[in-house]
């Protein structure tokens, strides 16, 4: 893993990399990352604006979301079904864009969309199935939310909690990564929509204060607390629902404390992305005695419920049950640093980037 010194090197990488509307600026894969990403893994590239051909659109990027999976893309993997990246390719990334030219019959100029744009300030797109573009709905909420809370992060949180976790009112729930993009949504939905009793885990006092303000009855600071002791103290009767964003020893500790008919949702395992060997789970047989289940999910398998899920989330935001939290990096040059910081757990809420310095409330 990169240390704090390496993080500051990203400021040097970003220095002087201003963008304008007259060219397409891109971040490309320069090298395969080893451990966490470092500045040399990224290549800054400037090209002319392309013209859309028949059936194509020209998209102008406004916001991009950042997700832990992106390092896996850079390594050449394809864990989410996107095409495998070669050295020199534009890095995959979903975000919010405006259609500034359209020669596509189904998409109009001026329309705001979200989908697979990549780390670039413009994109010529045939709006293919694989890019999974959705029109931004007219729900009165800021367009920036399409890069996270009203994007794939929101779908992940909703599908993981409701379709996989089967939460019940009064469930004792433990949630790791509670201050992150998915976590900060899951905790609020579980507490405020379902009525679960949520204990969250996050790193550091500041984040712990944040998650207590966003749905968690109590917080475990995984950097300072003894997790086993804290779980025993805060969940003395065990756990009905564990929502796992981190994997590893935290998963193991929660598995030890499952109650009858409990559920473990495997959402992410950020602790494992940079492990040299995969973590091995020794207590999966605990599922037997308690008639419990471990359920995995992959967000792209839940796209058929997109509209209903986004309506749910927008409704809960308007009703005050869900405060959208996005951690906005400013300017396209900041993308590599924002990604590196993800693996240090520095973001609160969904890590995003306002590509052109747009305000968070811009619509």
Contact footprint for a copy of itself (CB under 8 A): 79, 247, 260, 266-267, 269, 272, 278-298, 301
For residues 4 and 46, give the distance between their C-alpha atoms in angstroms, rounded to a whole number.
29
Looking at the Cβ atoms of 128 and 301, the one nearer to a copy of itself is: 301
- Which residues sit opposite 94 in a β-bridge? 116
Looking at the Cβ atoms of 202 and 258, the one nearer to a copy of itself is: 258
CB of 288 to a copy of itself, least distance (A): 4
CB of 55 to a copy of itself, least distance (A): 31
For residues 105 and 55, give the distance between their C-alpha atoms in angstroms, rounded to a whole number.
7
Provide the 3-class DSSP secondary structure of residue 181: helix
For residues 21 and 49, give the distance between their C-alpha atoms in angstroms, rounded to a whole number.
9
Looking at the Cβ atoms of 301 and 363, the one nearer to a copy of itself is: 301
CB of 247 to a copy of itself, least distance (A): 7
For residues 29 and 60, give the distance between their C-alpha atoms in angstroms, rounded to a whole number.
21
CB of 338 to a copy of itself, least distance (A): 24
CB of 269 to a copy of itself, least distance (A): 6
Beta strands at 94-102 and 57-65: parallel, antiparallel or unpaired:
antiparallel
Please check whether residue 207 is in contact with residue 344, taking contact to mean a CB–CB distance below 8 angstroms.
no
CB of 266 to a copy of itself, least distance (A): 5
CB atoms within 10 A of CB 196: 27
Residue of 273, 245, 345, 336 lying closest to 35 (CA atoms) = 273
Residue of 123, 4, 5, 125 lying closest to 55 (CA atoms) = 125
For residues 170 and 197, give the distance between their C-alpha atoms in angstroms, rounded to a whole number.
6
For residues 116 and 252, give the distance between their C-alpha atoms in angstroms, rounded to a whole number.
35
CB of 302 to a copy of itself, least distance (A): 8
Looking at the Cβ atoms of 284 and 363, the one nearer to a copy of itself is: 284
Looking at the Cβ atoms of 86 and 280, the one nearer to a copy of itself is: 280
Looking at the Cβ atoms of 233 and 275, the one nearer to a copy of itself is: 275
Element (H, E) at 99: strand 94-102
CB of 301 to a copy of itself, least distance (A): 5
CB of 81 to a copy of itself, least distance (A): 9
> What is residue 15's DSSP assignment?
T
Looking at the Cβ atoms of 13 and 253, the one nearer to a copy of itself is: 253
Looking at the Cβ atoms of 98 and 166, the one nearer to a copy of itself is: 166
Residue of 141, 91, 80, 92 lying closest to 112 (CA atoms) = 141
Q: Which residues contact 118 (CB under 8 A, 6 or more apart)?
A: 26, 90, 91, 92, 93
CA neighbours closer than 13 Å in the CB half-sphere of residue 80: 26
Looking at the Cβ atoms of 76 and 137, the one nearer to a copy of itself is: 76
Helix 4-14 / helix 335-342 crossing angle, nearest 10 deg = 160
Looking at the Cβ atoms of 39 and 68, the one nearer to a copy of itself is: 68
CB of 277 to a copy of itself, least distance (A): 8
For residues 84 and 78, give the distance between their C-alpha atoms in angstroms, rounded to a whole number.
5
């Amino acid at each position: 893993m990169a240390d704090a010194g390496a993080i500051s090197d990203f400021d040097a990488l970003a220095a002087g990399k201003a963008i304008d509307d007259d060219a397409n600026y891109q971040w490309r894969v320069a090298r395969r990352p080893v451990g966490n990403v470092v500045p040399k893994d990224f290549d800054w590239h400037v090209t002319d604006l392309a013209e859309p051909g028949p059936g194509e659109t020209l998209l102008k990027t406004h916001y991009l979301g950042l997700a832990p999976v992106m390092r896996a893309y850079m390594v050449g993997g394809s864990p989410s079904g996107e095409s495998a990246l070669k050295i020199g390719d534009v890095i995959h990334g979903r975000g919010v864009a405006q259609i500034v030219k359209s020669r596509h019959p189904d998409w109009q100029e001026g329309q705001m969309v979200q989908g697979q744009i990549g780390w670039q300030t413009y994109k010529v797109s045939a709006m293919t199935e694989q890019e999974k573009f959705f029109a931004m709905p007219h729900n009165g909420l800021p367009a920036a939310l399409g890069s996270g809370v009203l994007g794939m992060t929101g779908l992940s949180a909703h599908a993981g909690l409701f379709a996989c976790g089967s939460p019940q009112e009064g469930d004792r729930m433990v949630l790791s990564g509670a201050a992150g993009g998915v976590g900060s949504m899951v905790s609020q939905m579980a507490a405020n929509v379902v009525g679960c009793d949520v204990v969250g885990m996050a790193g550091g006092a500041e984040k712990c204060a944040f998650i207590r303000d966003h749905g968690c009855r109590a917080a475990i600071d995984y950097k300072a607390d003894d997790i086993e002791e804290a779980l025993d103290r805060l969940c003395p009767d065990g756990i009905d629902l564990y929502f796992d964003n981190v994997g590893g020893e935290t998963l193991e500790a929660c598995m030890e404390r499952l109650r009858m008919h409990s559920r473990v949702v495997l959402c992410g395992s950020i602790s494992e992305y940079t492990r040299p060997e995969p973590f091995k789970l020794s207590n999966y047989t605990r599922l037997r005695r308690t008639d419990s289940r471990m359920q995995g999910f992959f967000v792209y398998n839940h796209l058929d419920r997109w509209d209903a899920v986004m309506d749910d989330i927008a409704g809960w935001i308007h009703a005050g049950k869900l405060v959208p939290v996005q951690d906005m990096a400013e300017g396209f040059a900041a993308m590599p640093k924002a990604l590196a910081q993800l693996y240090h757990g520095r973001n609160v809420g969904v890590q995003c980037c306002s590509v052109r310095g747009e305000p968070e409330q811009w619509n």
